[in-house]
Every structure is written in structure tokens, then in C-alpha cells.
Structure 1
Amino acid sequence: MATPSERAERGKAARKRAPRSSHGRWIPSSQRPDPVAVLERQSVDRLPDLVPIRYGRMAVSPFAFLRGAAAVMAADLAAQRHTGLTVQLCGDAHLLNFGVYASPERTLLFDVNDFDETLQGPFEWDVKRLAASVAVAALQNGTTKAKAHRAAQVTVESYRLAMRGLAARGELEVWYERIAEDDLMALAHGAASRGRLQERLARARRRTSLQALGKLTVKDGTGRHIVDDPPLLERVTDVDRVTLGKIFSDYRSSLAEERRLLLDRFRFVDAARKVVGVGSVGTRCFVLLLEGRDDGDPLFLQIKEASASVLEQHLGPSPHTHHGHRVVSGQRLTQAAGDIFLGWMTGPEQRHFYWRQLRDMKGSAEVETMSPSVLRDYARLCGRALARAHARSGDRIAIAAYLGGSDVFDRATADFALRYAGQNADDYAALGAAIAAGVVTAAPGV
């Protein structure tokens, strides 16, 4: 095993492969793939009736476009130099893929919360996507380029300082590190800010299966069932009990033994297809309603299709041949605490899926309404959370040594973020033009 000083030297050596100042560059090559073509290739294996909803949601704003364009940015990042300092990447580390959720002990934690694209890769790919999302959000909210640049730089500075702090700590201490509710409250400035944060946390605590029972179901003469709300929520009325039994058995086997016992105490009630997110629209996603002790003891599970990560085309295949396993493994490795029902299975047509609770006190920020100062504070928090996530799977000492004590990497990555925000605006306009020309079909407002 390498010593801390040897690991630090490895990090400094990476500056020769990718000087810290080099991260500020962004000049699209003449061979850059057409962004709409990249999105269209993703649509080939998606449910055709839902693809227009995806385009409609991406066409809402530049930030919405960025959310759905992880594949576009992955190709752009792959065209740049990289450090070779690998971590378990989130793969889609934009601002809205962070948020609060409940630990198994029912403590609210703040962390990365989306892992559909997770894969091993250069740490800076996540940092650059996060910084770019900050710049895009800031500009969309009407701030100046200078303030957008500052917000992006604050994000990267927070990541660097957190990583340097983690590099000096012991292995178990790093593994148990988390950002909990008390840490969030300490970041709120002033009574008004603390009040707004307390309300958002209280709202997250109310987002449970019991709340979903009241919003998504109805009880009539035939019993309790999920309410149809097409095309966003459509009951699966022809559930094959044999198929369902096999699906549950396969999923059950991916859980720890004590959680299998817990799952066995619930019975199946109903299922529905559900449209989720922006970039995920068109992939196969379902919600299952289970019942425990009685009608007032519900459990909603979400079953989401897992396809190849958009990063695999550029970084090589995952060591996990099952993409549901890839997502679950990446989430378990990266998050400070995980969903007790997180698991995976193979569904009909040999498609890969992963399972998790539909609502487990999950909450996310409203980035589009943030003032410049609030956006900076939130971005700083996301940078810290990303560093904590990367420190669990990567060589935090090497990464910290690469980043160093100066702001060279911070400023360069902020330069990139602002330049890439301009590229994202051009790509967003290209999607709008394609929709107007009838090249792709969008369903707005769904």
C-alpha cells in the first residue's frame, strides 16, 4: 500500500498530464457531434409515446436542457485532457441531482441523489458538470456573467477545500462523514433564511409513502388502487402474477437478508407506469404499491430502467454487466447512507432495472428562484457534498495534492463553466430549431 506522501506525489504528477490551468479551455472541435443527434440516438430504445415529453421538458429553459443533455456533455468532456485520478462518478452531477433524503435512522442527510449514469472516471468530470450547471442556472436567473463565474468558482473552491480537509483524516472518519440537518441549518444566514430552510426540511419529512397514498391512490368498491393520470401515471392493469412473482424474487435476492424479511411482510396491491425527471423520460419506470400491516401501512417502490451509462462510450464498460447492479453499487459506494430497499433485477425482454423507495423524505432545491447569494451558498454545499462522495471511492490524498492550496483549479474550472454555459445555450437553441422545423416532436407543458 502506498504511503500518504507517495499518494500525494501521484496527485502532483497528474498535473503534467492535465495542468490545472488547462481545465479552463473550451473550444468545440469541428468533429463535435450534433447535440440533437446525440439525443435522438438515446431515443431509439425509449418508449416512443414518451419521447416528445422529454423534448418538451428540455425545451423549457437552458437549465432544463442541460439536465437532459448528460450524453452531450459526456462527449464534450471526453474530448478534453483528464487527470487519470478516478473516482466513482455520479455521472450527472448537476445542481438538482443533490438534495435531502432520510437515512435508515430517519435523519435527514444532504447528498448526491441520482446515479443513473454512475461509472468510474476522472474526478473532474463531475466537478465540471456541477460548475457548468451553476453557471447555467445563475445566467438563467438573470445574474451577470461575472457573478455567474463567481458562483461557479465558489462551487469548485468548496470542493477543493473539502477534499483537502478529508485528505488529512482517517479512513473510517472519512467513510462516516455526512452532511446532516444540523450542518444545513448552520449554513443558513439570518432568521428569514433559517425559516425558509426549516420549512423545506419539514416539507421533505412529509414526503413519505403515507403521503403518496393520499395523493396517488383511491379506495373504492374494488379496494385501493393507483389513480390513472395519463400519460404521467398509468395503471398496469394486466400484471401477470407469475411474472410479478419472478420479478420480486430476483429483486429480493439483491437485498441484505434482514431486508428480505422486511419486504416479505408486505403484499402487492397495484402498479403503474410513471414518467419521471427530464433526462430519464422515455425510459421504463413503474411504481408499485405494497401494503404492510393494514391499509394504513403503505410502501411505494419505484422500479426504474437502467441502461448503459452515457459515460461508457468514452470510458469503457462498467465492471458490472447488469446496469441495475451498476447503479445500486455506485449509489451504495457514494452516498453517506442508502435506501434500505435499494436493489436490482432483470425484467421482461431482459431489460435491467433498479428499485428504491418512491418517497423517503426526499427534497430538492428550487434553483430557478434562487438569488445570487443563495445560489452561491447552495452551490458551495453541493461542492462539499461531491467531495465527500468522491473521497469514499477515489484517492482523496492524490486528488487533494493535485488540486493544491491555490485557486488555480477553481478559476480554470469556473472559466470552463462560463464558456460551457454559452455552448449549452447554443445547444438549447439547436433543440428549439429542431422542434420548430419538425425534426423532433415536443409535447410542451406535460
Structure 2
Amino acid sequence: MAQKKKKSDTTPFAERLLTRLKTRPSAHGAVFVLDLRGRDWSGARPARSGFLTLRNPSDEGWPAKGATTLDQAVAEQWLRDHYAAWIERKLQINEDGPDSGLTVAEACDTYLEDLTKLLGADHNTVSVRRSVVRVHLKPAFGDVPLAALTRKRLRQFLEGLQVKKWEHGILQEMPAMRRTKENVRSTLQALWNHTYPDTAWPFGTLSMAERGVSRRRREAAEAGEIAGMTTSKSYTLAEITSLLARAVQYDRTAFRLLPWLPNTAETIALLVCTAARIDELMLLRWKHVLFEEEAIFIPGTKSAGAPRWIPMQRSLRPWLDRLRALHGGYPEPNAYVLHVRRGQPLKRPSRKTYGARLGKVEAQAALKRHRKATHGFRATHLSWAAPHLPDGVLKAYAGHSRARGGATDAYVETRPPFMPASHREVIQIPCPDVVGAARLGTAA
């Protein structure tokens, strides 16, 4: 009895293409091509010829570039795995109107432009997707026609996705986390839907496995490592001292003759001593800083608990005095505590400007942490203060919503009269003289 033939993976459309597989002579010998002459194939064939040369889909620059083959079995496999889906999609898209030859880079530029007009340049979705396009999509697929992407190629791309992260002060390349992969996939799907609104997303669900991360953790455990099993979130006093000294040096060399204010070290001091989020610090004005009451009002907006009073740490006073000296000694109440350019105290500072400054200082000091440059300073404050403050008070000073976990939050006050004096001695950072900061006069 004859053995039952294994069911073929060839789709009806791929079978049609197989009948059009031919060989043609070239300068390097015969190559396999698809004969796409005829009206039915007008949306898929090359502009100057009715013949499409088959090239290795794994090569960079496919389908316009790549190695050819003289092996018919290999050519048929390429056709089934890649060419069939791509050409069928091109034909479908051609019927709907959009250009099937649009590259991923071109589609990304148009998509981001329209998304920015819709949501605004500062919207979080715009920022995330602009980053995904710049870091992942354009380097991997920039010159590839969007319609030429295949499920297999995207799956392999996501499974092997690598990112650069700071660990223990060293920039390392490692497997991407699941959240990063989800951001890449959702950006791709949004890009497709924007470019081809009448054609459904053709790639279905893509794998988001994190095999690399768990493997690294297991290998670190088997090797008896500690560094590979934990992530440092906060800085020690010695590290903060080093960062302040590095920031003073950075300000001295980067801004000595420029109109920008040299206040990077002061920014670090504020972040460590207030636990403020960077967005909150950008809203801080001198009228929020009460020297007599030794309190600071943080104009937070993230949650109901974000607008809050916090005790002014006494180790912060000399750093605040330096900031006042940069304003001429007596800043007007509405002036921003951190402003970027000399002579523009009423212009709101940019979190990107200060985030970039802090990131450079952390990298120069070999203390760069993964994630945002300012998270480590907020974590440092909370880690240092945790042994000295009740949990509810710590959360209230940090601006967490429902810090005490119930109706009590609506009654308990943290205004200056209700702050114990001991709460102003919780965070101890070195004074400017210790880290080499020069004394400032009162000239603006």
C-alpha cells in the first residue's frame, strides 16, 4: 500500500507562482525568476521588466538585493516561505490604491508626522514610537518595502531583538524585555494600519518570549554571581559625592563661556534631597521654596498626592544658596529655580535638557543606571529615608497617591507647621565646598 503523501504547506496562490518559476541567463549564469508578465500581475512585477529575480530573503536589502540560487528546491522554498505572501499582499494593496513599494523608513516618516499633528510632539505615545522607529525599525528594515515584510522575518527579528542598557556603569547589549518587544510590535501594527488602512494586519500574533533574560539570570545563579542577579537602583553616599564632583567639573568645562547656566550639580542635589520627579522639578519656582519655614512645595501633577509639602533638608541649603546666587541673590517669586539660560528666569526649563545633562554626568562617572537618568536619584532619597521615616510619611513626601492607604489621606496634613524638625535631617549630602564647587557671588 502506498504511503499517504504528507500534506503540502503550499497555498493555492503559491502554487500559481510555482507555475511561473523559470530560469533566465545572467552575467553570472542562470538565475531563477518569476515571470510576472500579464495584466493579472501588474501590481507585483518590477517597473522595468516583467521578470522578478529571486533573491535570498535573509540577506540585507531583500527583495531588491541579495544572493541568487541555482538550486530549484531552494528557489521553491523561498517562494513558499516569503515571496508568495509578499506578492499576494502587493497585489491586494495595489487594488486598494497605496504604493506597495513604500519603504519602512518612508512609511515611518509619514506616520510619525501625522501622529505628531494628532497628539502633539510631547505626547508619550509619540515619544515612545519615535524612539522605536529610530532605535529598532529603521536600522533593521529602513530600506525594505513595508509590503515585503513577512511573519517569519518579523518573528525572528523580535526573538533576537537586542537593546543597550547601562549595568554597573557599563553600556552593555542584552536581550530586549517583553515590554520593549510589545512596543515594537504595536508600533509596527500602527504603522501598517496607517499606511494601508483598507488592508488588515497580516502577521497575526507574534512571539514575545523572553528566553534570553531568564537564561542570563539562571547562568548568573549557577556561576554564584551577585551582580547578575540584582539591579542597583540607588546610589551610596560615596557615589553621590562622586556624581556631584563630576557635575561640578562638567559645568565648569561645558558652560563656562556659554549663556547656559552651570547648575547640573545643584540639580542633582535637589533631586536627591526632595525625591521630586524631573517633571515636578521643572515646575518648581522660588515662591515654592520657603526658607524661614524650611519647607518646599512640590507642584506635582501625576496624581492626587503629587502636589505636596516636603521638609527642606538642611544639607540642601548651601546648594539652594548657590542657585539663588545664579539669580543675582534675590530671585523674583515666579522665577523658575532651575532655568536654562542666563537672563531668562521666567522661561520654563526643559526636562530633556536636564535629563541629557544628568545622563552625561552619570556616564562620565561610570555610574549610569538603566532607565531614565533621574530615577536613580529619586530611588536614592527613598532608600536613604526609609529607615528614618514611617512608611506613610515617606510615601506622602514622595507624592504617592493614597500614601496611607485609605480615608486617612484626606485628613492628615503635611504642611510646614506639622513637619517634625527631625525630618529635615534625614538626607545628608556633601556641601559644595567638599566636591570642589567654587564660591559664587551675587552677580547674575
TM-score, scaled to structure 1: 0.23
* Greater strand share, structure number: 1
TM-score, scaled to structure 2: 0.23
Larger Rg: 2
* Greater helix share, structure number: 1
Structure with more contact order per residue of length (Cα contacts < 8 Å, sep ≥ 6) = 1
